Amino acid sequence: MSQIFVAGKIPDKAESILSNYQVNLFEGDQLITEEELCHEVKNAEAILSLLSTPISKKVIDAAKNAKIIANYGAGFNNIDVDYATEKGIHVTNTPFVSTDATAELTIAILLAVSRRVVEGDQLCRTQGFDGWAPLFFRGTEVAGKTLGIYGFGNIGQAVAKRALAFNMDIIYSQPRRLSSELEAKYNATYVSMEEMLSTADFITLHCPYKQELHHLFGKEEFLKMKKSAFFINAARGPLVNEKELVSALKDREIAGAALDVFEYEPSITEELKSLSNVVLTPHIGNATYETRDAMSEVAANNIVEVLNGRNPISPVNRILIKN
């Protein structure tokens, strides 16, 4: 019977799908260490890894029988994909099922920072307030404002769809322009990075992380943004130089920021926690019951397909199936 190692607790939806296999589950309260991983994967034909589980060369070398690393997450920068490919190991992810949940969270934190929701909550829970007044606790409306989206893939487009309901103007930037039909669908205008930085009232990131995009946003980019603009990141933490973001926020080079991901995650830059013009959430972009269940099903089905000699449903790399 094939052995499957699951690197942490996941929703029960996967259990019935993998019921015909021997499943070993890591049940520790802390994230599994590299040494523990190396020990646990020695006999595993399949590894169901979490986005927070680094699958390094050392782990891959230890997993001598592995046929697939099924990542529980749309991202896969936690896995050395090139080395897995070299070893003939399938790598899969869970794309698409996270789209709606992540787009909803993006709009939620965008509104939270622009309308000072978290600040207001804290005020009510601590010192309270003296009542309604014309100049009291004003925020920024989103209606009629320009939303700049960097990375206009599935999630970026889902954010645009929701932003249209708020009567926002949509611009987007990325290396490649999309079709005129797709732009018309979302009433979106393709612009250069420079134009997006200088014209957008809100900028949100929705691109995958890769080394060439490390610190895509730093001091130079924040200085080019409007002083009234807000910055949102629900994509990947290392896309942003957090130290330089802190400086931009403290110096009021930008109006505020909302972050669901962090450069040194799970650590959060301490200065971010003390700034009132920042909203912080603990990487919960796709943390809904519906999406996390769907992710477990996709990851489990990828494993079943590969262990049965078929191609996975959502491959990250391409491995030749030997019949």
How far apart CA 138 and CA 117 sit, in angstroms, is: 11
Residue 183 falls in the annotated catalytic set? no
Residue 214 falls in the annotated catalytic set? no
- Name residues whose C-beta falls within 8 Å of residue 80's C-beta, 6 or more positions apart in sequence: 55, 56, 57, 60
Q: Among the options 90, 116, 206, 283, which is catalytic?
A: 283
Q: Among the options 104, 265, 271, 297, which is catalytic?
A: 265
Type of residue numbered 38: C
Write out the two tokens for 184.
Answer: 């018309």
Residue 220 falls in the annotated catalytic set? no
Q: Among the options 236, 242, 253, 305, which is catalytic?
A: 236
CA torsion angle for 189, 190, 192, 193 (degrees, to 10)?
Answer: 80
Ordered alpha helix ranges (H), the chain: 13-17, 34-40, 57-62, 81-86, 99-114, 117-125, 154-165, 180-185, 193-199, 219-224, 242-250, 270-273, 289-307
- The DSSP H or E segment spanning 189 is strand 188-190
Positions marked catalytic = 236, 265, 283
